[in-house]
Structure 1
Amino acid sequence: MLRDTFDGAAERYDRARPRYPRPLVDELARTADLGPARRVLEIAPGTGQLTVPLAEFGCRLTAVELGPSLAALARRNLGAFPRVDVQVADFELWEVPDEPFDLAVTATAYHWFDPGRFLARTASALRPGGHLAVVTTHHVAGGTQDFFDRMQRCYERWDPATPPGLRMPTEVETATDTREFEGSAYFEDVTVWRGAQEITYTTDEYLDVVLTYSGHLAMDEPSRQGLLACLRELLETRHGGRVTKRYFHELITATRTGACGTGA
């Protein structure tokens, strides 16, 4: 599966993947009333991009990560937080503990799960009145837009599956349809926070980011190297070796209803 490719690039993933904007973290903390008394479940934490700022609130946190290499780096990054437990498991098969959580959160990983099963399993892990939080990350129009327009020629050449004339979407076009949350029997009071951040990369830093994406990791080696060389040439010859990328984040939260469910 494509989601399994991340573990083979754990060090690069830890180094290159963007952290989440502070306003998003603060909004999540406010919604879930995070503090030492709260029990938090994080699903697919990667190397701790969101886990570290959540742990800073002093909560007891269990992080369930599929990849052992990613989990090892998460433990390293969270070494200063003794109340964090990083477990290696497939969340869809993980045994949900008897003591319920106050918050279940997943960041930039929800798309890897079957929505119906995911919502049922997270509901089974939460107390009534607890919160589910889903963080999304989208790559949208903005930043060094001329580079992102031009780079499509690199993708069309080296990745035949690239649709001709593909362009970066706008924030409006990428906004998540929340009906699957609103229609769930397990959750109510769905809210959405949205915000963007722009990050400027050198050529090497940008290519590092590219090499953390599952589709790029799954390419055959000649095609991947051809694509990277094409992107490098474009950045160095047309953009002075620097590019600014715009990320659009959403924080979707919902409250666990009082309904019972096993999530099996």
Structure 2
Amino acid sequence: MRDDTPDETRRIHLSRTFDEDAELYDRARPGYPPELFDDLAEVAGTGPGCRVLEVGAGTGKATLPLAERGCRITAVELGTDMAAVARRNLAGFGSVEVVTADFETWPLPEEPFDAVVAATAFHWIDPAVRMVKAADALRPGGALSVVATQHVAGGSEEFFVEVQDCYERFDPTTPPGLRPPAAEDVDTSDHADEVARSGRFGPVVFRRYEWNLTYTTAEYMEVLRTYSSHRALPPEAREGLLGCIVGLIDRRYEGWVTKRYLTELRVSRTPPRSSVDAPPAAPTPHRAR
């Protein structure tokens, strides 16, 4: 059952904005550092033949690297257009199925998965459902692997200070003086606490990756147009905000900016099969006295 509070209603609304321009999302959004998938194979076992359920696959930004590593993937994506682009991107992999569905209500198949993967998508899933359903989807000892990405301090730091004037002018919800946090200050306790509260998983293993991406003005405008918070602005405010940012980049930063990302891999496992689930031991033959 969904929570109908204002925050939950806004989460549902924002989660649906990505499907409004799936081609733009596929073109503009960055992928993930290659070493993340190496670590995912090491920590979560996503190697050749691993059976993976991907939650919120989008256009396949994480699905493709997993498929290239030989995983068998069922990718669930809510957006019709996003799922169509994902099918196109993954057409060469017979071991990948893209399902257009709401993960919260999608019926789990009988055969459990080795891993559940959610790349920059888990926070869009109903908090009342996501942990329990992910655990239900996994075999004993299976891995829940959540990938989170955040903008952190670094790159063109002065630009990200100056650009706040644009946000404060056109988006009244912007906190004054907002700045990207330092990577070492990003708090991961919320996820670890949620995992612990669920009672369905063991401790969380964390891996972190900092990386820079340089954008031209046009490229940066495209990626901003994919962000749910920008898409949710009234059209006049959104275009005013983007115009303000274009002017700043072109006037003060020679037509390009560098953004620093922090990507975090969070892996937790369901308990292994317990002794009570194991078949009973064969009876010990009686010895003659």
Give the TM-score, by structure 2 length.
0.87
Report the CA distance between 1:113 and its aligned residue: 2.3
Q: Are 2:54 and 2:76, in contact at CA under 8 Å, matched by a contact in 1?
A: yes
Name the aligned partner's letter for residue 225 of structure 1: E
1:146 maps to what in 2? 158
| Structure 1, 110-119 or 244-253: larger mean CA deviation | 110-119
CA distance in structure 1 between the aligned counterparts of 2:47 and 2:172, rounded to whole angstroms: 49
CA distance in structure 2 between the aligned counterparts of 1:31 and 1:157, rounded to whole angstroms: 45
SS in 2 for 1:36: coil
Instruction: Give the alignment partner of residue 242 of structure 1, picking from 253, 256, 278.
Output: 256
Rg bigger for which structure? 2
Name the aligned partner's letter for residue 172 of structure 1: E
2:203 maps to what in 1? 189
Name the aligned partner's letter for residue 257 of structure 1: P
**1:134 corresponds to 2:146:** yes
1:75 maps to what in 2? 87
SS in 2 for 1:232: helix
Name the aligned partner's letter for residue 195 of structure 2: F
Report the CA distance between 1:119 and its aligned residue: 0.7
| Residues 212-256 of structure 1, C-alpha deviations (whole Å, 9 max, x = no match) | 100101111110110010000000000000000000011000011
CA distance in structure 2 between the aligned counterparts of 1:121 and 1:198, rounded to whole angstroms: 34
Cα distance 1:46–1:123, how it changes in 2: closer, same or farther (>3 A)?
A: same
Instruction: Give the alignment partner of residue 110 of structure 1, picking from 119, 122, 126.
Output: 122
Report the CA distance between 1:111 and its aligned residue: 1.4
**1:98 corresponds to 2:114:** no
**1:221 corresponds to 2:235:** yes
CA distance in structure 2 between the aligned counterparts of 1:192 and 1:182, rounded to whole angstroms: 14
CA distance in structure 2 between the aligned counterparts of 1:144 and 1:51, rounded to whole angstroms: 30
CA RMSD of aligned residues (A): 1.3
1:180 maps to what in 2? 194
Q: Are 1:115 and 1:180, in contact at CA under 8 Å, matched by a contact in 2?
A: no
Instruction: Give the alignment partner of residue 31 of structure 1, picking from 37, 43, 49.
Output: 43
CA distance in structure 2 between the aligned counterparts of 1:258 and 1:183, rounded to whole angstroms: 19
2:282 maps to what in 1? none
CA distance in structure 1 between the aligned counterparts of 2:124 and 2:73, rounded to whole angstroms: 22
Report the CA distance between 1:116 and its aligned residue: 4.5
Q: Are 1:185 and 1:259, in contact at CA under 8 Å, matched by a contact in 2?
A: no
CA distance in structure 1 between the aligned counterparts of 2:273 and 2:141, rounded to whole angstroms: 10
CA distance in structure 2 between the aligned counterparts of 1:252 and 1:159, rounded to whole angstroms: 32
CA distance in structure 1 between the aligned counterparts of 2:127 and 2:231, rounded to whole angstroms: 25
Q: Are 2:53 and 2:74, in contact at CA under 8 Å, matched by a contact in 1?
A: yes
% identity of equivalent residues: 52
CA distance in structure 2 between the aligned counterparts of 1:46 and 1:89, rounded to whole angstroms: 12
Unpaired runs of at least 5, structure 2: 1-12, 275-289
CA distance in structure 1 between the aligned counterparts of 2:273 and 2:163, rounded to whole angstroms: 49
Give the TM-score, by structure 1 length.
0.95
Report the CA distance between 1:259 and its aligned residue: 7.8
2:277 maps to what in 1? none
| Residues 54-106 of structure 1, C-alpha deviations (whole Å, 9 max, x = no match) | 00111210000000100000111111111000000000000000000000010
Unpaired runs of at least 5, structure 1: none
| Structure 1, 149-158 or 115-124: larger mean CA deviation | 115-124
2:67 maps to what in 1? 55
Report the CA distance between 1:176 and its aligned residue: 1.6
CA distance in structure 2 between the aligned counterparts of 1:237 and 1:35, rounded to whole angstroms: 48
Report the CA distance between 1:117 and its aligned residue: 1.9
Runs of 4+ with deviation above 6 angstroms: none
| Structure 1, 174-183 or 212-221: larger mean CA deviation | 174-183
**1:169 corresponds to 2:181:** yes
CA distance in structure 2 between the aligned counterparts of 1:190 and 1:34, rounded to whole angstroms: 17
SS in 2 for 1:187: coil
Name the aligned partner's letter for residue 260 of structure 2: R
